Amino acid sequence: MRFGVIGGGGKVGQLRVQTIHENVDTQLVAILDLSEDSARAVAGDAEVFTDLDQFLSVEMDAVIISTPPHFHEEACLKALAAGCHVLVEKPFSSSAESCRRMIDAGQKANRHVAVGFNMRYYPAFAYVKDAVTSGKIGQLTHVRAFGGHEGTVHFTHDWEYRVPMTGGGATWDIGIHVTDIVRHILGEVTSVYGVSSETVWNLEGSEDNAIAIFRNPEGIAATYQATWGDWRGYQFVIEAHGTHGMVRGSYAPMRNLLITMPEPGGKQTVTKVNYFGIEVREKLKSWKTTCTISFAEELCDFLKVCGGGTSVRSADANAGLRSIEIADAIKQSSLTNKAVELPILHPVRA
């Protein structure tokens, strides 16, 4: 498949570009970036553009969008109109309405719109999902999820914590990955009660802490926290508990804990998984290596989906939309002190 990357000169876009160069089934034909030099540095034989319409005049089958979120919609709608399948970075956009417009356009154009929730591919979180799906912990009873870091000092660019570009704060940043993985485990989230605050960084509209309870249609609950006030640095933990055990995935460092029992309270089998290879590689190189591997796996699934495949780990456009609806619901619930109910979404092309 011939790919173009929008924002391909950026921190994440360059990693996306690398995965296209490295995949034998994909060819990079064009990059669009306001910074021509950073795009050229990774383009290889691909053409480089600073204008969206000129970029889309190149024949291509799919586009990856890796700009700041407020530009995702314009780029996505034009790429769909040009006949491309589209993979959009998280957060899907800077508002839920904007996500819905992209979903509608994808349906009308009969093209796939996928959302880049690459943390589904991090070995520790894939392990949690697979342990739940395979029934290892019995019937799912509850989920506990946390994602946090030390806030604005963590970011490379200041747009990353400014609402006009991002849509919101911690729940749109690290929290959006956490939301997605909780939803990936629960099946769907249809009820949200939350409390959020902006007391640490005082950035209007960018919540720096959010604590919430989600429920799926069966009433199974998840507790959730996303924060920009976790002074230990970057932490991401998902725990799923069931009638016959529990499973935890965490990063960084990448770790799993699985406890299983033949019956509730029975003799426990404890499995601990340490990913020393990943830890060493990240120490010697960078966290970007882990991220790039997940992008490569996500790209393979995107190719499968575009080819009609269904059995994939990747996130569809509904995952992108619902994660933002949940972020909005936490804020709304915090203002009203009432739970927000969310309808089941109509299935979409992945």
Q: Which is nearer to ligand NAD, 258 or 319 (CB)?
A: 319
Applying CB under 6 A, does 214 fall inside the site for ligand NAD? no
Q: 206-227 as b/e, with b when 16 or more CB fall inside 10 Å?
A: bbbbbbbbbbbeeebbbebbbb
Applying CB under 6 A, does 10 fall inside the site for ligand NAD? yes
| Residues contacting ligand NAD: total by CB under 6 A | 23
Of 71, 125, 146, 236, which lies in the binding site for ligand NAD, with binding defined by CB under 6 A? Answer: 71
Stretch that binds ligand NAD, among 66-74, 78-86, 227-235, 335-343 (CB under 6 A): 66-74
User: Does residue 162 sit in helix, strand or coil?
Assistant: coil
Strand locations in 12-164 (E)? 27-32, 47-49, 62-65, 85-89, 113-116, 140-148
Applying CB under 6 A, does 251 fall inside the site for ligand NAD? no
Stretch that binds ligand NAD, among 63-71, 205-213, 218-226, 328-336 (CB under 6 A): 63-71
Q: Cα–Cα distance between 4 and 25 in angstroms, integer? A: 14
Choose among 343, 319, 325, 316: nearest CA to 95: 325
Applying CB under 6 A, does 70 fall inside the site for ligand NAD? no
Applying CB under 6 A, does 38 fall inside the site for ligand NAD? yes
Tell me the closest approach of the beta carbon of residue 18 to ligand NAD, in angstroms.
13
Of 1, 3, 13, 320, which lies in the binding site for ligand NAD, with binding defined by CB under 6 A? Answer: 13
Only one residue has tokens 């994602």, namely 147
Burial environment of residue 266 by CB neighbours within 10 A (0 to 12, 13 to 18, 19 or more): exposed
User: Does residue 19 sit in helix, strand or coil?
Assistant: helix
Stretch that binds ligand NAD, among 4-12, 128-136, 313-321, 338-346 (CB under 6 A): 4-12
Of 29, 48, 89, 324, which lies in the binding site for ligand NAD, with binding defined by CB under 6 A? Answer: 89
Q: Other C-beta atoms within 10 Å of 150: how many?
A: 16
- CB-hemisphere CA count at 13 Å for 82? 23
- Backbone φ and ψ for 25, nearest 5 degrees, come out as -95, 5
Read off the tokens for 45.
Answer: 């034989």
Of 19, 26, 66, 216, which lies in the binding site for ligand NAD, with binding defined by CB under 6 A? Answer: 66
Of 1, 3, 5, 9, which lies in the binding site for ligand NAD, with binding defined by CB under 6 A? Answer: 9
Residue closest to ligand NAD, measured at CB: 10
Tell me the closest approach of the beta carbon of residue 299 to ligand NAD, in angstroms.
12
Q: Within 106-125, which residues bind ligand NAD (CB under 6 A)?
A: 116, 118
Applying CB under 6 A, does 157 fall inside the site for ligand NAD? yes
Strand locations in 59-207 (E)? 62-65, 85-89, 113-116, 140-148, 191-197
Applying CB under 6 A, does 11 fall inside the site for ligand NAD? yes
Stretch that binds ligand NAD, among 60-68, 99-107, 121-129, 271-279 (CB under 6 A): 60-68
For the chain, how many residues are written? 350
Q: Which residues are at the interface with ligand NAD (CB under 6 A)?
A: 6-7, 9-13, 32-35, 38, 66-69, 71, 89-90, 116, 118, 157, 291
